[in-house]
Amino acid sequence: MSNAVALPNDSATLVSQASAIEQARAIAEVQAAVTVAQNRPRDLASVDREMREACGRMALAERAFYSVPNRGNGPSVHLARELAAIWGNMDSSVRELRRDDVAGESEMIAFSWDQQRNTRNSRSFIQPHAKSTNKGRKQLTDLNDIYLSNQNTGARALRECIFATLPAWFTETAQDICRATLKNGEGEPLAERIPKMVAAFGKVGVSPARLEARAGRKQASWTADDFADLKIGYTSITRDGLKAEDEFPETVVTVAEITGAA
**Domain presence at residue 1:** no
Shared domain for 80 and 138, answered yes or no, is yes
Beta bridge partners of 107: 98, 126
Shared domain for 194 and 123, answered yes or no, is no
What's this model's pTM, rounded to 2 decimal places?
Answer: 0.73
Beta strand 136-139 with 130-133 is antiparallel
pLDDT at 68: 73
**Domain presence at residue 248:** yes
CA distance 201 to 215: 14
**Domain presence at residue 89:** yes
CA distance 167 to 157: 18
pLDDT at 260: 55
The mean pLDDT value of the chain amounts to: 84
**Domain presence at residue 122:** yes
pLDDT tens for each residue of 48-104: 999 999 999 988 998 898 877 666 778 999 999 999 999 999 999 999 999 999 999
Count CA atoms within 13 Å of residue 109 on its CB side. 8
pLDDT at 255: 46
Contact between 55 and 181 under an 8 Å Cβ cutoff? The reply is yes
Q: Which of 107, 140, 173 is the last residue in one of the domains?
A: 173
Shared domain for 52 and 167, answered yes or no, is yes
**Domain presence at residue 78:** yes
**Domain presence at residue 167:** yes
Indicate the pLDDT class of residue 251, thresholds 50, 70 and 90.
low
Indicate the pLDDT class of residue 116, thresholds 50, 70 and 90.
very high
Shared domain for 194 and 241, answered yes or no, is yes
**Domain presence at residue 12:** no
Shared domain for 52 and 168, answered yes or no, is yes
Shared domain for 53 and 116, answered yes or no, is yes
**Domain presence at residue 178:** no
CATH number at residue 119: 3.30.390
Total domains in the chain come to 2
pLDDT at 13 over 70: no
Shared domain for 151 and 231, answered yes or no, is no
Shared domain for 225 and 156, answered yes or no, is no
Mean pLDDT of 173-195: 87
Shared domain for 152 and 257, answered yes or no, is no
Indicate the pLDDT class of residue 258, thresholds 50, 70 and 90.
very low
pLDDT at 90: 92
Q: Which of 139, 173, 207 is the last residue in one of the domains?
A: 173
Q: Which of 173, 200, 233 is the last residue in one of the domains?
A: 173
Mean pLDDT of 189-201: 88
pLDDT at 40 over 70: yes
Shared domain for 81 and 168, answered yes or no, is yes
Indicate the pLDDT class of residue 188, thresholds 50, 70 and 90.
confident
List CB contacts of 210: < 8 A, sequence separation 6 or more: 248, 249, 250, 251
pLDDT tens for each residue of 134-157: 778 889 989 999 998 999 899 999
Shared domain for 169 and 75, answered yes or no, is yes
pLDDT at 11: 55
CA distance 179 to 175: 6
Shared domain for 111 and 160, answered yes or no, is yes
Give the residue numbers spanning the domain of 218.
Answer: 188-261
